[in-house]
A = this chain, B = another copy of it.
Amino acid sequence: MFDITATYTDQYELTMGQAYFLSGLKDEQAVFDYFFREIPFDGGYVMFAGLMDLLSILEDFRFDKKDLEFMQSQGFNPDYLAYLKGFRFMGTIHAPSEGDLVFPTRPVLRVEGTLIETQIIETVLLNIVNFESLIATKASRMRLVAENSILIDFGLRRAQGAGGYHAARAAVIGGFDATSNARAARDYCLQASGTMAHSYVESHADELSAFRSFAAARPDDCVLLVDTYDTLKSGVPHAITVAKEMEKKGHRLIGIRLDSGDLAYLAKRSRALLDEANLQYVKISASNQIDEYVIRSLVQQKAPIEVFGIGTNLVTGKPDAALDGVYKLARVEGRPVIKLSENTSKITLPDKKQVWRAIDHKGLFLGADVVGLDDEGHIAEMHHPFSPHQSFAIEPNETEPLLHPVMIQGKVVYNPPSLSQTAQYARERLAMLPAEYKRFENPHAYKVGISSRLKALRDRLIAQHRKNPKGV
């Protein structure tokens, strides 16, 4: 849907690119890590999403004529612009499978390539992965409490501009069943869903004739919105009348939708009216300011709602609105690098790394990941990153590597799963995460450890910088 060219980036990537170009550093080999520091929604995990969109953007990432004209008008160097004309991302990316669960401060993506190419893709990588991961995470929280109800994304109208497009896809990874967003459904092969608005009812002389004309136009896929005038006195009785008329013609009303008022009360009363009319098969769907807490409350109240339509709170990732993912240099020309900070927990992990996930004999996540150098085999001991006296032994066969090659030298190198396979994988990984990490209130913190070699390297680099604070 997007004509995303290589100026879909922060200007500073382009100015740094020019400086790398002019100073002869552009082809130095770099390793960048993508990771985040805080889990949104006060939750216990993040669901990784956006990988396939990112890779397909990167395969086609180039400066078009308008980009180069724009940069020329900004005074960029002509030799640099000539170089950018042929620019392609030819780097290598390691990542978890899309839909996997990831945790703070350890690498989620590892990007290798020349300094200039790994720098220029920074912004688009952050933009896509931060947002899709935010929305997949939010969606998965709703799925956790919605039991077997159908969840539908209604968010496009309140989405942050075209952000609604990627959000519809990410919601399906997180466990949603369908979207109202027709364009996203078209392009990502999602199930599209949508019936009527209040305006449809109001555009007719009365509610009953509106319901009748809608049922005539959609005899086998009809959901009636029942709250335009009065849900229990008007909307539901009219829906029952039309459902009975449909039965006579050999059709069945699919459902009714509640969009205002006390959803638990109205669902129960509507269910009773429908059941009295022998319309047990008519489903009740509900929308209006729903989030994971509202779903949980409605389920606890045994509200007979089988379909939830969720807009703003899903599609904007309220109340957090952003995952704080960052992209940090870990190594350049074989030299491990580190970013210091007055805040110890913000000091980065140097060098090219792998993340190992510990899994117990029942196949459940053990509650810790271990970060080691990429060339380490089994890591026998993990250390707390900052507390010097905490370390744990790790048994062989207890860990699996999290980062796999997904792009090598600019080419996608794995067979991308379908979106429903990704959603299925996400469900399986979520099932492997113990409940205490999934609860909404004060979830357990998923631990991170570092290997002895990585710890020694990092401590040495910190000491070097502390000894010579004016730069090595």
Chain B contacts of A156 at CB under 8 A?
Answer: 8-10, 123, 127
Looking across the interface, which residue of chain B has its beta carbon closest to that of A157?
B126
Known: A22-B217, A203-B25, A469-B229. A322 touches B158 (CB 8 A): yes
- Asked if A161 meets B312 with Cβ closer than 8 Å, knowing A2-B2, A180-B10, A218-B19, the reply is no
Task: Note all chain B residues with C-beta closer than 8 A to A261.
Answer: 342
How big is the A interface, by class?
35 or more
B154 near A161: Cβ-Cβ < 8 Å: no
> Which of A139-147, A188-196, A376-384, A433-441 is found at the contact surface with chain B?
A188-196
Chain B residue contacts of A157, Cβ below 8 A: 10, 122-123, 126-127, 130
- Interface flags for A332-363 (1: CB within 8 Å of B; 0: not) read 10000111111100100000000000000000
* Contacting residues, chain B, for A182 (C-beta < 8 A): 7-11, 14, 67, 70-71
Q: Which of A219-257 contact B (CB under 8 A)?
A: 221, 228-230, 233-234, 237-238
Q: Establish whether residues B159 and A163, one from each chain, have CB atoms under 8 Å apart when the complex forms.
A: yes
Knowing that A19-B213, A67-B182, A122-B157 are A-B contacts, what are 4 other residue pairs whose CB atoms are under 8 Å apart, sorted by A's residue number? A7-B182, A9-B183, A162-B162, A199-B328
A interface residue numbers (CB < 8 A to B)? 1-5, 7-16, 18-23, 25, 28, 30, 32, 66-67, 70-71, 74-75, 77, 115, 119, 122-123, 126-128, 130-132, 154, 156-167, 179-183, 185-186, 192-200, 202-208, 213-214, 216-218, 221, 228-230, 233-234, 237-238, 260-261, 312, 316-319, 321-324, 327-329, 332, 337-343, 346, 465, 469-472
